[in-house]
Chain A
Amino acid sequence: MRISVRDLVRIAVGGVTARLTRAALSVLGIAIGVATLVAVTGIPASGQQALLEELSRLGTDLLEVTARPAQGDDVATFPAESVAMAERVGPVTGVSAVANTQASVRRSDVAGESSGVGVAVLAARDDLLGVIDGELAHGRYLDAALDRFPTVVLGSEAARWLGLTRLPDAGPAPQVLIGDRWFAVVGILEPARLVPAIDQSALVGWPAAESYLGFDGRPSVLYVTAQEDAIEDVREVLPATVHPELAGLVSVSRPSDALLAKRQTETTFSGLFVGLAGVALLVGGIGVANTMIVSVLERRGEIGLRRSLGATRGHVRAQFLTEAVLLSGAGGLVGVVLGTAGTVGYALWRGWPVVLPPAAVALGLAGAVAVGVVAGLYPAVRAARLPPTEALATA
């Protein structure tokens, strides 16, 4: 005699809800596992999405050209004409450069040098900001009117280290000591997302560095933008173009790739977390199995009665299996809700868009149901094998 799925579910709901506290505990076990699974996939996915949105805002057309020092040299530099050479490459849309002056910077001549430790003093071209897509937080950037005077623009971290997070609205600009000369701080930059090295730098004008810091005019890093579809070609020809004699020492990187890679390792939870979710699910499954085994022991009378009313072994098995799946399925649903809430909360806190991979949600639910089937199988088979007379005798 067949019994309908609806009847089966109705019986199982009755069986599960009759022991609510115990049911809630096994639901919770599964829920923790599924919530973990959803969160450890949802949070990195949200972070990834945030990064992609950021990159599409920043653009991916920037190349950074550096060189290793040639034998015998301490520092690596490019020929002074390298900027002009790079500009001549067809798809190139912009070239700028910085050069490390090896000078040091301090806030004052009395406080010692500690506050400026770690800040690199770079000669920077006036077009740097446009090429690296940098932004000013305060003041102004170097331009033709300023770049020959002792003026400096600070990267965001350098400014913080020097205790200059903002500039006075009126009155004289703050001064910092670079080498043995006072420079006026005329601007502070926002963090440069693609070129974080700029954050820790103090930028002085190209001519000013030559006049006051003994700079030889040879760039140490070139920044090149090019048409997006030609970027790989440009990347290939740049070494020989900017440094014809020592092209082998030149390396060209794409900062957006580096950022992507770095963020990926930051936001991709390691297998450990996924493993943790698996363990939680396993423990939840053991909880369900335990609940069901106890349930079968306690409900021998009910089993005997149902057998006397015409339930087959299959009916009894199906009933207990359905109860187990109901418990774990409910756990799966609760887990998806909790995991979603966790992901949403974390993403909002980080200012990320919320991404819930449907595969993770589906996998969580399917995993919960599968765990329920596995956990329920043994108790269900035991219930079905119980001889009716024995079930009735012990009731």
Chain B
Amino acid sequence: MTGADGVVTLDRVTKTYDGRVTALDDVSLTVADGDLVAVVGASGSGKSTLLHLMGTLDRPTSGTVRVAGQRVDTLGDRALSVLRAQRIGFVFQQSHLADRQTAVRNVETGLLYAGVPRRRREALALEALDTVGLAHRAGHLPHQLSGGERQRVGIARALVTSPAVVLADEPTGALDSVTGAAVVDLFRTLNATGVAIVVITHDQEVAAALPRRVTLRDGHVVSDVTTSPGDDLAGGLPRQVTTSPGDYLGGRGVGRG
């Protein structure tokens, strides 16, 4: 469905805020099916802007963005919303869970705008919770969950529609390094099932653990490196960091092509 173009394609994209601040300058980038990309860069280098443009939450000042083969500049609010509901999953630094709803209900919210009938939502949500290893926490309220667990509920909510791409803006930013590493491992496992994932991170170790790394500086892509399986990956990701569930390590071998 996404074709050779990739899941998300940016072609000579520039984003200028208020006609003054150029957050992205002439960026071209393709996220292919099954990619697992780390986006790194200093604060203010344009990472979040890039993610928002990829996720159609904002429009570029110039250049074109394609999601799942569709040019988004031709789409109106409704069509963009359908795209976000069905093809894109977002994960944020804060998990944005509804306080008074159980984990499974929070995950169901991910299906609310995707046109999935009510009666099918719970089963899908439970399945997504199972995928992130939280099936046993389905009935818990957010305040009964740890920070890492809450973030996983957020990830399950992003995944529940089986999107083509998951866009995560500093998903480990609010977590300690061990919990963060577990979340990164979860991304690797999910990626192994075929979903493309883009992760913004400040954490060099997190970035090093992922097969492709895009570095931004002042709105420019200054490097885009793909590490083949078996490269210095293990060196970049000290084994002791990936402590928790060993089975998440299964995704290690998956890279591009």
Is A169 on the interface with B (CB-CB < 8 A)? no
CB neighbours (8 Å) of B100 from chain A are: 14, 17-18
CA distance A389 to B15 in the complex (A): 13
Is B112 on the interface with A (CB-CB < 8 A)? yes
Which of A45-53, A289-297, A305-313 lies on the face that meets chain B?
Answer: A305-313
Which of B34-42, B82-90, B126-134, B239-247 lies on the face that meets chain A?
Answer: B82-90
Which of A2-10, A184-192, A200-208, A345-353 lies on the face that meets chain B?
Answer: A2-10
Main secondary structure of the interface of A (DSSP, over half): helix
Using a CB-CB cutoff of 8 Å, which residues 307-326 of chain A contact chain B? 307-315
CA distance A17 to B99 in the complex (A): 12
Is A302 on the interface with B (CB-CB < 8 A)? yes
In the complex, per-residue mask of A5-48: 1 if CB is within 8 Å of any chain B CB, else 0: 01100010010011000000000000000000000000000000
Other-chain contact of A309, B52, B78, B84, B118 (Cβ < 8 Å): B84
Interface size class of A (residues with CB under 8 A): 20 to 34
Other-chain contact of B118, A6, A301, A306 (Cβ < 8 Å): A6
CB neighbours (8 Å) of A312 from chain B are: 77-78, 81, 113
Q: Whose C-beta in chain B lies nearest to the C-beta of A388?
A: B57
**Pairwise interchain contact A389-B52, C-beta atoms closer than 8 A:** yes
Is A392 on the interface with B (CB-CB < 8 A)? yes
Is A342 on the interface with B (CB-CB < 8 A)? no
CB neighbours (8 Å) of A4 from chain B are: 118
Interface size on B, residues (CB 8 A): 28
**Pairwise interchain contact A301-B94, C-beta atoms closer than 8 A:** yes
CA distance A302 to B112 in the complex (A): 14
Is A395 on the interface with B (CB-CB < 8 A)? yes
Q: Whose C-beta in chain B lies nearest to the C-beta of A18?
A: B100
Is A170 on the interface with B (CB-CB < 8 A)? no
CB neighbours (8 Å) of A359 from chain B are: none
CA distance A290 to B92 in the complex (A): 30
In the complex, per-residue mask of B96-111: 1 if CB is within 8 Å of any chain A CB, else 0: 1011110000000110
Is A387 on the interface with B (CB-CB < 8 A)? yes
CA distance A4 to B157 in the complex (A): 20
CB neighbours (8 Å) of A18 from chain B are: 98-100
B interface vs A, CB < 8 Å?
52, 55, 57-58, 77-78, 81-86, 90, 92, 94, 96, 98-101, 109-110, 112-115, 118, 157
Enumerate the 7 nearest inter-chain pairs by beta-carbon distance, A residue then B residue, closest first. A310-B85, A310-B113, A308-B90, A312-B81, A305-B96, A388-B57, A310-B84
Given A305-B96, A387-B58, A388-B52, output 11 extra A-B contacts at Cβ < 8 Å.
A1-B114, A11-B112, A14-B98, A18-B98, A301-B94, A301-B96, A308-B90, A310-B81, A310-B82, A313-B77, A315-B113
